[in-house]
Amino acid sequence: GAGVSQSPRYKVAKRGQDVALRCDPISGHVSLFWYQQALGQGPEFLTYFQNEAQLDKSGLPSDRFFAERPEGSVSTLKIQRTQQEDSAVYLCASSSIQDVSYEQYFGPGTRLTVT
Amino acid sequence: AQKITQTQPGMFVQEKEAVTLDCTYDTSDPSYGLFWYKQPSSGEMIFLIYQGSYDQQNATEGRYSLNFQKARKSANLVISASQLGDSAMYFCAMRGLKVGNEKLTFGTGTRLTIIP
């Protein structure tokens, strides 16, 4: 079946531009997560949704970062006024509350480069 | 708060040998889950294995096993009979098991290279 998809796969933005990253989770998955992975590092948590409710946004690095999931399926991560330190791979993951292994299924990521 | 420590930035292993990737953790959660993910150069995160803190037996999935030592707070990944395709970054991760506490905390990873 279809896995988690993300678009675009690559994004180059000039400093100061706004960007929007899209995530399509696995159909029926209630939980959706965003992570940021800097070069050579492990992923770091940004925010988490259960259906349309954003239950945890403690990892968002600044108020320039905003995420939404208005209908409980597709999610968008928006970064306003991008800075060079925002350059990273942004990973989306989804999971089912019925999965006893609590596995999170990851998308291929969006590589954001801010110039 | 949760913390994962992976102390091996890189490892080189001969093909067909077994390899152990180290992971230690710290958490105040009474119940938690431990995970290993593989990230090839293509970038996708591939789930390998899961161990619950309440599980009495070590988890196994094919050539992967998790050596869980709760008192030592360690969750090492063992790969038996390594293959060239095992060359990748490996991340240890954990989460609490309370509802609403589902975020994963990752370590910094170990880059495994299998030598033919």
pLDDT tens digits, one per residue of B43-70:
889 999 999 999 989 999 999 999 999 9
Tokens of B23: 């992971």
Average pLDDT over residues A2-18: 96
The residue whose two tokens read 């896995």 is A3
Residue of A nearest to B6 (CA): A42
**pLDDT, tens digit, for every residue of B87-97?**
999 999 999 88
Which of B45, B95, B102 minimises the CB distance to A91?
B45
Residue of B nearest to A53 (CA): B100
Distances in Å between the Cα of A15 and the Cα atoms of A11, A34, A65, B57 are 12, 22, 15, 51
Which of A89, A104, A109 minimises the CB distance to B104?
A104
Radius of gyration in angstroms for the set of CA atoms belonging to chain A, rounded to a whole number: 13
Position B84 confidence tier, pLDDT thresholds 50, 70, 90: very high
User: Which burial class, exposed, middle or buried, applies to A58 when counting CB atoms under 10 A from its CB (0-12, 13-18, 19+)?
Assistant: exposed
* Beta bridge partner(s), residue B35: B50, B93
Q: What is d(CA B36, CA B51) in angstroms, rounded to the nearest whole number?
A: 9
The residue whose two tokens read 């390998």 is B48
Average pLDDT over residues A64-87: 97
Which of A41, A44, A108 minimises the CB distance to B44?
A108
CB contacts, 8 Å: B103 with chain A: 33, 45, 48, 56, 59
Average pLDDT over residues A80-101: 91
Confidence (pLDDT) at A105: 94
Partner B contacted by A34 (CB < 8 A)? no
Partner A contacted by B64 (CB < 8 A)? no
Element housing A64 (H / E): none
CB contacts, 8 Å: B35 with chain A: 102-103
Query: Is the per-residue pLDDT at A1 higher than 60?
Result: no
Confidence (pLDDT) at B97: 84
* A89 with B91: Cβ contact below 8 A: no
Q: What is d(CA B21, CA B97) in angstroms, rounded to the nearest whole number?
A: 24
- Scanning B43-62 for CB atoms below 8 A from A yields 43-45, 47, 50
Position B98 confidence tier, pLDDT thresholds 50, 70, 90: confident
Confidence (pLDDT) at A2: 83
Position A97 confidence tier, pLDDT thresholds 50, 70, 90: confident
> Count of CB atoms within 10 A of residue A114's CB?
19
More confident position, A25 or A1: A25
CB contacts, 8 Å: B1 with chain A: none
Average pLDDT over residues A92-114: 90
Q: What is d(CA A10, CA B94) in angstroms, rounded to the nearest whole number?
A: 28
Query: Is the per-residue pLDDT at A42 higher than 70?
Result: yes
Beta carbons of A29 and A95 less than 8 angstroms apart: yes
* pLDDT over 90, % of chain B: 87
Phi-psi region of A109 (alpha: psi -120 to 50; beta: other; left: phi over 0): left
Average pLDDT over residues A8-19: 98
CA-nearest of A96, A6, A73, A97 to B44 is A6
**pLDDT, tens digit, for every residue of B6-33?**
999 999 999 999 999 999 999 999 999 9
